[in-house]
Structure 1
Amino acid sequence: MMSYAFEVGDQTVWSPSLRVGDLFVRMHAATCSVLGTATGLTAIASDMYEIDIEIFERATLAAFNEYSSSQNATFKAMLGATLGPAVNILNYCQRPLTPRSDEESAFISWANGLSMPR
């Protein structure tokens, strides 16, 4: 089965199936566009992306702050779909987000519990 590869330096931090990887890249790019931030993703090949962890972390934090401050359930659901894997990647890279509320703590726990092949 074919898969994507997301790399930080020389380490693969996530290797989802082609459809999942493609969907994540597209959703992450759209989310960052709406929030006015860079993605931190650079295509190395059609199925391989290098993650600039500094930029990716800023983008993820921007999305997390929007998620946490919003009262719009639909907006939160849409952000959460791409934010979960991003939070998981940051945690794997030893850059965990710090929760400021029980809701944030619950979201981070959920995100870090996602099964993400490496």
Structure 2
Amino acid sequence: MSYPFECGNRTVWDAGYHSGQLFASLARGAAEFLDVPAGLTPTREGGCEVDPAALLTFTERLYGHYASTNSEVMHGLAHGLLITSLVLVERTGGTVPLRPEHEASLGWAKNVFARSMA
């Protein structure tokens, strides 16, 4: 069973059911914390419709928070959500510029995630 993330008529991530639900739940919680919408609307079919502009804003805000702290706990908590969001932003035609100090590590992780996000 899958949990698709759709952008218009295109599937940008056909997540496994549990992976998709967990990502959507984490994004909703982080969006509340960041006081912005996550850009993910649950569908009747059991997935999410992606609003590219809102997802971009959410991911920029999440990355801004990530980049503004040296807290290893905050980095650890945000890492998987941020990487998954960066992949989805790219798949919906957007981009979040990374600071030079994050380009190598986050870029590498983004590539690893993208390969496994069918």
What TM-score do the two structures reach when normalised by structure 1? Answer: 0.90
Structure 2: runs of 5+ lacking an equivalent:
none
Q: CA deviation at 1:9?
A: 0.8
Partner amino acid, structure 2, of 1:87: L
Q: Could you say which residue in structure 2 is the equivalent of 1:24? A: 23
Distance in 2, Cα, partners of 1:113 & 1:58: 23
Q: Which moved more, 1:6-15 or 1:94-103?
A: 94-103
Q: Count the aligned residue pairs.
A: 116
More helix by share: 2
Distance in 2, Cα, partners of 1:46 & 1:72: 39
Structure 1: runs of 5+ lacking an equivalent:
none
Q: Could you say which residue in structure 1 is the equivalent of 2:105? A: 106
Distance in 2, Cα, partners of 1:46 & 1:79: 28
- Kindly report the root-mean-square deviation, in angstroms, between the aligned alpha carbons of the 2 structures: 1.4
Q: Could you say which residue in structure 2 is the equivalent of 1:62? A: 61
Partner amino acid, structure 1, of 2:117: M
Alignment of 1:1-118 (within 5 A): 2-45=1-44, 47-114=46-113, 115-117=116-118
> For residues 102 and 70 of structure 1, do their structure 2 counterparts lie closer, same or farther at Cα, with a shift above 3 Å needed?
same
Q: CA deviation at 1:46?
A: 5.4
